[in-house]
Structure 1
Amino acid sequence: MDRLIRAEFRKIFTTNLWWALLIPAAVLSLVFTWGGAALGTLGDVTRAARGQNIPLALPFFAQGINFATVFALILGGTAVTGEMRHKTITTTYLTSPKRGDVLAAKLAVYSSIGVLYGLVCMVAATLGALFGSNFPEAADWFTLAGVGVLAMVLWTLLGVGLGALIGNQVGTIVGSVVYVLVVEPIVSVVLRTNDLGDIPPYLLNKSGGDMVSQIALDLSFRGLQLGSNFRGAQGFFEELLGLTYSPEWWGSLLVFAAWAGAFGLAGYLVAKRRDIT
């Protein structure tokens, strides 16, 4: 297993894809958090909040993470499909008597890459909050960062499972990105307009985003003494982000982990029996 894990790391770090996807993920985290931190210090906002600085860097950091996870999903999607595309999967499977060991090594390695993505995005977001001169409390910041790292790991593993299930690199990447950015948002709007707004929080993409967004809002408004002009701010943000019917952040985490686990298991069963000749 150690040999397989070392081989997987070598495959990732000898190509440019991992850092080519990491750069835009980090930039999104920095820009979103910078904007939120700067917005939280605006005069109208602080006056409505009785002179308190609203730590809007937190929910904006969450949105940056949610967009950045798309790049982790893409990277995970190449774990198996990249080798199938370049015809190296046969050699990889021949290095181990069991395909399951190869797939387990890929899951372990790409989990660590998901951690790396999450940590880099956290550093970028930290710089954004500092540039915006509105850094939240350290405990809240690291709590959100921890959930963000976990989200990155789960999205990466979801990509690995989808790639193993579909087997085609273009189909995996295009299909997953189109679903996340186009299909599910449309389905969610249709459900909400038909009085079925309690269903979208349990869909794949929505649950993955809600686990980060919900805890970010909870941390942002916890303990604040808000004036009458700002009292409905949390409800406004919850409605804006579609969190009205969402469970607690840990509930969304469990739902999304179930999705990732289901696709991972399906991918494992299919890849284990796929003809690679």
Structure 2
Amino acid sequence: MTAPTTTPARNAAGNGGYTTGRRMAASRLKLTYIGSVRAELTKLASIKSTCWLLGVAALLIVAGGAISAWSYKAMAFMDYNVETGEMVTLTTPKPVEAAYIWTSTVGMITTASLVFGIFGVMSITSEYTNLTIQSGFVANPRRGMYLAAKATVAGALSLLASLVGVGLSWAAVRGILSGIEITPLTQSQRLLPVVCILGGPVASMLMTIMSLGLGAICRSTVGGVFALIGLWTILPSMLSIAAFSEKLRPAFQSLSNCMPSSALGDFLNGMVGNAMDSGLSIGVTGDSKIDYFDPTWWQSGLIFLAWAAVAYAIGQLVIRRSDVK
């Protein structure tokens, strides 16, 4: 005679999970957020793609800074001769504005953010691809904590890689422009060093978290990367093309300025142009004036933060309510 068995009650939501069993298991294991973070750090650190993607992103930041600095150095030794109408080479270089030093340092972060984004997508979708997500949910049934721990580790690694890239980029820029006079920052640009040194790496971290949310929504590496590229490049390009219509230009131009890629670029470089200007710009076409929303650098930073928060929140909702494929 066999002993009678008991079957745990299914989740009332009908998603096939066993709510009571999961809560009891979590209680026995005494799951903590710190422990979950340690587990995610062990997993991500053991994957080769983590080192490759973060390394490539850091190198892109350094390469972009060096190339930009070389271009400024070349222009410093060149001037236009009005009488002859030709470019002449100067023996004494012209001064370079300090603002360009800082924008050159972080100039490639917008491009490198795509690499950080792919890293964020793969941080979650790779587990769906090889079905290790099942064992992950068994070890940590609290899916909200599971995704939060993964976002913490992935975001921290991206922050660290971006900090290294920005630091090396700044050193490369200053080394290339050594011997050339650097003019001081203006009063409106006084926060530019802080925005570049800290804001750039923080933006890279937010990009990773936003992409992690997209990966949790799609639960597929191909789908997540395509959604990221579509949101980062394809959709802004479509909005820019649609903005050629005079009647729809204000709406589409305003939407284009609020896209993640535009918001990140304006956050890092917007202080150089109109640092403290109003968020409402006026474009003139013929005899008519067109009003559209053109965010300042700090408004762009908040917009980019909102994109990351919304994508991550939706990813949390999907991963907590959906079954494993």
TM-score tier after normalising by the smaller chain length: 0.7 to 0.9
Aligned counterpart for 2:214 among listed residues 148, 162, 180? 162
> What is the one-letter code of the residue matched to 1:151?
A
Q: 1:147 aligns with which of 196, 199, 214?
A: 199
Shift in CA distance, 25/160, structure 1 to aligned 2, threshold 3 Å = same
1:82 counterpart residue number:
126
1:37–1:133 CA contact under 8 A, matched in 2: yes
| Paired positions, count | 251
Which residue identity is paired with 1:261?
Answer: A
Unaligned runs of 5+ in 2: 1-32, 81-89, 186-190, 276-291
What is the match of residue 303 of structure 2? 255
Percentage of identical aligned residues: 22
The answer to whether the 8 Å contact 2:254/2:293 transfers is yes
Match status 1:198 vs 2:242? no
* SS of aligned partner of 1:205: helix
Q: 1:96 to 1:26 in 2, by over 3 A?
A: closer
Greater Rg over alpha carbons, structure: 2
Residue aligning to 1:33: 65
- Contact 2:195–2:268, Cα closer than 8 Å, also in 1: no
Q: TM-score, normalised on structure 1?
A: 0.80
Letter in 2 for 1:53: V
After TM superposition, give the deviation of residue 260 of structure 1 in Å: 1.1
Give the letter aligned to residue 148 of structure 1: G
**Structure 1 alignment gaps of length 5 or more:** 220-243
Q: Which residue of 2 aligns with 1:129?
A: 173
Q: Judge which range, 67-76 or 138-147, deviates more.
A: 138-147
User: Which position in structure 2 is the counterpart of 1:43?
Assistant: 77
User: Structure 1 residue 142: deviation in Å?
Assistant: 4.6
Q: Distance in 2 between matches of 1:11 and 1:218?
A: 44
RMSD over aligned Cα atoms: 2.7
Report the CA distance between 1:107 and its aligned residue: 1.6
1:67 aligns with 2:111: yes
Change over 3 Å in CA distance of 1:58–1:86 after alignment to 2: same
CA spacing shift, 1:25–1:97, aligned 2, 3 Å: closer
**CA spacing shift, 1:266–1:159, aligned 2, 3 Å:** same
As a proportion of its length, which structure holds more helix? 1
- Structure 1's consecutive aligned runs of 4 or more residues displaced over 3 angstroms after TM superposition are 44-47, 134-143, 215-219
Equivalent-residue separation in structure 2 for 1:125 and 1:216 (angstroms): 19
- Is the 8 Å Cα contact of residues 66 and 176 (structure 2) preserved in structure 1? yes
Larger RCO, structures 1/2 (Cα 8 Å, 6+ apart)? 1
SS at match of 1:198: helix
Retained in 2: the 8 A contact 1:45–1:54? no
Structure 1 residue 218, shift from structure 2 partner = 6.4
Tell me which of 32, 37, 48 is aligned to 1:16: 48
User: Which piece of structure 1 moves more, 250-259 or 119-128?
Assistant: 119-128
- CA gap of 1:183–1:202, structure 2 versus 1, over 3 A, is closer
1:108 aligns with 2:152: yes
In structure 1, the partner of 2:228 is 176
Using the TM superposition, give the Cα deviation of residue 149 of structure 1 relative to its aligned residue in structure 2, in angstroms. Answer: 0.9
Q: Distance in 1 between matches of 2:245 and 2:161?
A: 36
Corresponding residue for 2:16? none
Deviations 1:77-107 (A, max 9, x none): 1122111111011111111231111111112
Under a length normalisation based on structure 2, what TM-score does the superposition of the two structures give?
0.69
Amino acid at match of 1:185: S
1:276 corresponds to 2:324: yes
1:179 CA displacement = 3.6
Residue 16 of structure 1, CA deviation? 1.1
Residue 15 of structure 1 deviates from its aligned partner by 1.1
Q: 1:122 to 1:95 in 2, by over 3 A?
A: same
CA change 1:216–1:173 in 2 (3 A) is: farther
SS in 2 for 1:101: helix
Partner of 2:264: 208
| Per-residue Cα deviation, 1:246-273 (whole angstroms, up to 9, x for no partner) | 3221100111111111111111001101
CA positional deviation for 1:25: 1.7
With 249-258 and 16-25 compared, the bigger mean Cα shift is at 16-25
